[in-house]
Structure formats: structure tokens, C-alpha cells
Amino acid sequence: MAQENPVSWFAAPPVFDLGLELPDWYRQLQESSWQKFLTTPEPARTDESWRFADLKKVRFSELQAARPAENVEALIQRAKTERVDDFAAHFVFANNRLVHSEINELPEGAVCLPINEALVEHGDLVKQHFMQEEGSLGGDKFSALHAAATLSGLFIHFPKGATCELPILTHHFASGDFNCVFPHTLVIAEDNADVSVVDTFETATNDEQTIFFANVDLVATNGANLQYVALQDESDHGPKHVQLNSSRVGRDARIKSAFVNLGAEWIRQESIARMMEQGSDCQIFSANLANGVQEYDQRTLQSHEAQHTTSDLLFKNALYDQSRTIFAGLIEVKPGSHHTDSYQTCRNLLGSNEAEANAMPGLEIDADQVKCSHGSTSGQISDEEIFYLQARGIDAEAARQMISLGFLNESIARLKGEAVQTYLFERVERKFRSLRSA
């Protein structure tokens, strides 16, 4: 089949032998997904869900499943030096392979395992929740590819009542030109459980054309609290990063997710949040700092599917040089989902006349007594704000940086956990420093 398709990105399915007896259902899913990947057309200009996108970025060829990374010890060391201070567990993956794990403390009954091992040991649970999202915001081909590939990443299961204050951390490293990694994060928080997860995506070195095809499944049932953070801090030229996120929120449960993008030449992040039962709440934040010719393309859906559900989205982009951002967000209130309360805001801070911020907010409401608002703004740092900081002795350049950092920090500050906030804030600050010294 692959040979018959001239636009296939891979000569063969991106799979390799893990030495594990993977369940039949999963092997079948991999095979059918590969066929689906081959037959799904590449994103096209006529496709509304790819409006404004630079499609040249997704004309792939000669990609390959990543071979084992070199200098793994150095990567592990880096991950350990630069991680959230306090954590429950830490897993490091390099080129799709688990290279390091440590568990400090997990609540009783909680499971935190590499996804491939979970396929063997907790096959039924994985099958029930793995890539169940059937809707798409344009990334069908990516999702089929991900399901067809050998994965890395974590399966996290917090059973009823299991809570942990500290986050579970993973680092995903990629290295080597045209090497692809397929990180998957599956988090299941059952009734009244409380779990926090931080994924960090990095490249081993600069200038390598690695590609991340990531996928995140988040599930929270009755009264559970789930927080998920993705920090994409890859090299800022070369890597591409695709990430498809699904959140399914049950009765009186809450999922908070945040996407912080600093690196990569091009990213595409799609997030579908489904508020499925009464009292479901979803909060989605993003803080992105783009410079050079980086292009950050984010598409979201907040789907309200029951009465008395709430959601809030706040995306912030700070743009420099010739960078571009695209935000397309839809709030959908399904028939009968009365008393929905939903917000969506995208704010862009333009640090250059050549930067381009595109925003396409949208609303579709099919219920009564609904409170929905959406909006997007783009602007530059006001001279009066700079004047105010300068009048306190801070030089103009530092003032600009403080204001931009504060602008992005507004969405980071909505997250739970001071150590997590600090971790993200410091990474954003580090990129600002690199902009300043450039």
C-alpha cells in the first residue's frame, strides 16, 4: 500500500519490536490505523480547519521511527537538573524509549506505567479510554498515524479517591533528522481523584529536524480533578510538533490543561474538551512565545453536552520577528445543555510589525439560559505601561520584557501548584533572555 501512495510520509509503518506481547485489539488497531493514515489525504488549502496554516510545513517525506538516541545519560541528567522541584514520579523518554524512571510517592492503588507496559498489564482500561475521540479539528491524518505507531509515554490511572498533591513528570526527548517520536499520555482520574501531570517536550540538540506526533487523552469522572500541562521547549528551528488533545469530563469533575510553547519551528495543537455531564468544568490555558519564523497553530473545541457545565479558555501569544500564530476556537453548546457558562479569550501581544496573529473565535449555541462569551484582541505594549515601569528606574528594554512576561504569566498563574508555575515561568523567562541577548 505504501508504495502505491506517492504522498506517504513513511516507507513503512513507524513501528519497532518492544519485546512485549501487545494485545490483539491493539495490534489490529495499529494496522487499521495505518491503512487509515495512508488513505487520509494531506491537509489541503480548501480545508477550513487548515485556514491560515502554512501547508508547506506538513508536506513530509522520508520520515522514520526514531532510532535509539545517543548520549542518553546527558539527556537524563538534563531532565533531572531542569524539572519541577517537587514531584511524585518522573519518567524520561528519549527517541520513543524509556530511559529513566523514578517514583517518589504515589497514592495507594494509583498506577503510573509506560503506555506499552500498560497495554499488556491494564489492557481493558487502556482499550476503554485510548484515543476514543472521534471528532477532529483537522488532524485526522495525524491521529491515524499516532495510533499506527509504536508509542512512548505514560499511562496514569488514579482510582476512586486517590489524590496526590505533587505532579507526575515526563520528559520526551527527540534527536536525529527526520526521526519521529510518538509520545502518548493517557490519564484517567476516577471519582474524586486528584492528579497533576507535566509533560515536557525537548530536543537533544539544536537544528535537528525531529518531529513529535503527540497525543493526550484525559479522562475525569465524578468529582475528579485533573491538571495537565504540556511544555514544548524544543529547539526553535528544525523540530515540528503535532499534539492532539482530548479531554472528557464527567459529573462535577474538572480538567485543567495548559499548553506552553516556546520552541519548535512549527506546531499544530488541537484540543477537544467535552463537558459530558452536569457540573463538568474544563479550563484550558496557553502561553506562547514565538519569534523568528516560528508558526504556532492552535485549534480548540469546547463542547458542552449537558446542563450546568462550564468552561474557560485563555490563550496568550507574544509574537516577535516574523512569527505567526493561528488560533481557531469554537464553543459548541449542544441541544438541551441549558445553563452552560463558557468563555473563550485569545490575546496577542505583537512585539514586531512583521509578526502575524490570526484569531478565529466561534460560537454555536443550541440551548437556553446560556452564558457564553468569546473575544480576541491584538495589540502592542502600550507606551504608558513602559513609561510607568521606567519611572520606577527599570530600563525600557527590561520594562518591555517584564510586561511581556507578565502578559504570558497571566495564564500560567491560573494553574495549581507553585512549583509547576515556577517551572513554566522560568522557562518562559529563559526564552525571553535568549531573545534579549540575540
Partner 1 sequence: MSQTLNIQNLHASVDGNEILKGLTLEVPKGEVHAIMGPNGSGKSTLSKVLAGHEDYEVSEGTVTMDGVDLLELEIDERSRAGLFLAFQYPHEIPGVTNANFLRAALQARLPKGEEIDAVAFYKDMYAQMDSLSMDRKFTGRAVNDGFSGGEKKRNEILQMMMLDPSYAILDETDSGLDIDALKIVAEGVNRMRSPERGFLVITHYQRLLDYIVPDVVHVLFDGQIIKTGGKELALELEEKGYDWVTQELAPA
User: Cα separation of 239 and 208, whole Å?
Assistant: 6
- For residue 421, the minimal CB distance to partner 1 (Å) is 11
The answer to whether the beta carbons of residues 243 and 230 sit under 8 Å apart is yes
User: Cα separation of 400 and 379, whole Å?
Assistant: 13
- For residue 435, the minimal CB distance to partner 1 (Å) is 17
At position 419, the amino acid (one-letter code) is A
Closer CB to partner 1, residue 47 or residue 383? 383
Closer CB to partner 1, residue 366 or residue 410? 410
- Other beta carbons within 10 Å of 266: 22
| Total number of residues that touch partner 1 (CB under 8 A) | 24
Closer CB to partner 1, residue 71 or residue 390? 390
Q: Which three cell numbers stand for residue 187?
A: 490519564
User: Cα separation of 398 and 202, whole Å?
Assistant: 27
Closer CB to partner 1, residue 370 or residue 435? 435
- For residue 132, the minimal CB distance to partner 1 (Å) is 36
- Find the helix or strand (DSSP H, E) in which 436 lies: helix 418-437
Closer CB to partner 1, residue 157 or residue 400? 400
Closer CB to partner 1, residue 38 or residue 381? 381
Q: Which three cell numbers stand for residue 141?
A: 491524518
- For residue 23, the minimal CB distance to partner 1 (Å) is 47
User: Cα separation of 352 and 369, whole Å?
Assistant: 42
The residue count of the chain comes to 438
Residue list 372-431, contact with partner 1 (CB under 8 A): 383-385, 387-396, 398-399, 402-403, 405-410, 413
- For residue 355, the minimal CB distance to partner 1 (Å) is 19
3-state SS of the chain: helix, strand, coil percent to 5?
25, 40, 35
Site string for partner 1, 107-126 (x = CB under 8 A): --------------------
CA terminus-to-terminus distance, the chain: 47
Site string for partner 1, 287-326 (x = CB under 8 A): ----------------------------------------
Residues at the contact surface with partner 1, assessed by CB under 8 A = 383-385, 387-396, 398-399, 402-403, 405-410, 413
